[in-house]
Structure 1
Amino acid sequence: MATQKLVNNIDHKDTKIITERSATYGDDIWFTQTFPAEFRSVQAYYPIFFTKDENTGKFLPVALFGFEQNENLFINDGLWHVPYIPLMHARAPFLIGKQTLLEDGVEKLQRVLFIDENHPRVNTEQGAPLFLEFGANAPYLENMANMMETLHHGMQDNDVFIGRLVELELLESFTLDVELNDKSKHQMLGFYTINEDKLAELSDDDVAQLHKDGHLQAIYMAIASQSNVTRLLLLKNAALGL
């Protein structure tokens, strides 16, 4: 069970974060959420598709790591074997929270960094420290704080991006059929992709607005990223010795 606590140099002066990558530390996931501002980095290695949040029914863009539950084809021997890990996953065990501060007699909400103290990466024995000897933030914590700020703004942009895709009816469901070298077949359901026919039929005004908002580039990066399904197939066959 997650125990979320505000990061501070008193309670967490000895806290360290294990940075090794393995199922032990929660890396055995087959996809994670992403957002338009990181599509350029994500599309270099992973297919980008869309799925629906089970709780809200809203569409989410996701980076795909495998073909089935608990399968991450990019981790092995304690390493994640491509240079970029999507921020929504790389952030663990940190979360963004809000805290009310009194400034010049006025209450203001400020974003603050929380940590899940029960996460398997959190310990006091090994890994990257959060704080230096005299209480200053360690470089690792500074990097994570910057990452969380980027993630916060990325999630806000996601709402606008997805809303526009839905408005223009650019998302369509599809089924991904996968055949391995041993002729075994797998079928992936519940994913969505960009409807390229409807994209081509958009009015000049709609295209111009997508371009102005920076979303047209994200759309084409999502489409281009689908060639990485071939990369996943190669990794899957290699993992099975096929």
Structure 2
Amino acid sequence: MAKLIELSINAHKNLKVTNDAMMSHASRQHVCNLQAQEIANAATCFPVFITRNSINGQLAVSAMMSFATQENLFVQDNSWHSVFQPTNFRTYPLYLMQSPENEKHFTIGFDQDSGHLSEEHGLALFTGDGKATPMLSEKTKLLEGELEQMRLTYAFTKMIDSLDLMKSVDLQVHYQSGEVGVIKGLQTIDEDKLQTISTDDLDKLRKAGYLAPIYAMLMSLFQINVLINKHNNLTTHTNIDTVKIEVSKDTTVS
């Protein structure tokens, strides 16, 4: 995990973000974490799944952007090719971090080893008179809203987990070469259980505003076809025949 440094006007007044920072970072991410409020928009572009951390059991909502690690099919020629861009990418290379002075407070930090910050070239974070540039202001605003969005996302995943509305699935990627790749550790909404849920539990989901993201996640599975087409349009890739979603036989999340 990256060690974050708190951003300070006094210590980092000349710091700049390299022009290709976001695209360079995004191009290597085959999944991107989402907040609950992003699910509906993300589902129009990417397959959306839930993953469970095998160490602490924490759940995360993620958009899948390729079938291979270190690859993002939505970044081509250093440009973003999708109508929706997750906040996780838009705030890069800045992060929300625990304040080193008060663990109950949060502040803005950066990873000095990211390779995307420089004092020589790029987009400035601060103006000459020590004020935040429009770019820094925009990223800061998004990050400041992240705490509340994290809370809402936690509440969303906790409720659908407590109602046992998820099922573990594997993606079986069948290539024209005959090779079959398997992507494990994914969870999606169990549509059968959703159809038979009690009226009281359904009302809980409705009142919490969770029905829209739940149905969006289900519909997002059709975006797997978009990933297949994008993958097959690249001449450097072995074409994919089909991707099958199978209920996982291994209950252990990898």
Could you tell me the TM-score, scaled by structure 2's length? 0.84
Partner of 1:215: 210
Partner of 1:104: none
Distance 1:43 1:26, change over 3 A: closer
1:132-189 deviation per Cα after TM superposition (whole angstroms, max 9, x unaligned): 1111110111111111123222211121111111111101011212234566533222
Q: Say whether 1:139 aligns with 2:134.
A: yes
1:85 aligns to what?
Answer: 85
Identity among equivalent positions (%) equals 24
Distance 2:152 2:47 in 1: 20
Identify the match of residue 154 of structure 1 among 137, 149, 152.
149
Aligned partner of residue 11 in structure 1, secondary structure = helix
Name 1:114's counterpart in structure 2: 109
Residues 14 and 63 (structure 1), Cα distance of their counterparts in 2 relative to 1, 3 Å cut: same
- Aligned with 1:125: secondary structure? coil
Deviation track 1:38-88 (CA, whole Å, cap 9, x = no partner) reads 112211211101111133122221100111221211112112211332223
Structure 2: which 5+ residue stretches go unaligned? 240-254
| Count of paired positions | 237
For residues 69 and 4 of structure 2, the distance between their equivalents in structure 1, rounded to whole angstroms, comes to 26
Counterpart CA distance in 2 for 1:21 and 1:93 is 7
Could you give the per-residue CA deviations for residues 198-238 of structure 1, whole angstroms, max 9, x where no partner exists? Answer: 00111222111111111111101111111110100001101
Distance (Å, rounded) in 1 between the aligned partners of 2:106 and 2:192 = 41
Contact 2:165 2:189 in 1 (8 A): yes
Q: Evaluate the alpha carbon distance shift between residue 187 and residue 21 of structure 1 in structure 2; reply closer, same or farther with a 3 A threshold.
A: farther
TM-score (norm 1): 0.88
The answer on whether the counterparts of 2:22 and 2:92 sit within 8 Å (CA) in structure 1 is: no
Bigger Cα displacement from structure 2, 222-231 vs 144-153: 144-153
The 1-side partners of 2:105 and 2:21 are apart by 32
SS at match of 2:150: helix
TM superposition shift of 1:109: 4.1
1:33–1:62 contact (8 Å) kept in structure 2: yes
Q: Distance in 1 between matches of 2:167 and 2:33?
A: 18
Residue 28 of structure 2 aligns with which residue? 28
- 1:204 is aligned to 199
Three-state SS of the structure 2 residue aligned to 1:154 is: helix
Identify if the C-alpha distance between structure 1 residues 71 and 160 changes in structure 2 by more than 3 Å, giving closer, same or farther.
same
CA deviations over 1:75-124 (Å, ceiling 9, x no partner): 121122113322234322222124388xxxxx994332112222121112
C-alpha separation between the residues in 1 aligned to 2:104 and 2:191?
42
- Report the AA paired with residue 18 of structure 2: I
Partners of 1:26 and 1:55 in 2: CA distance: 25
Alpha-carbon RMSD: 2.4
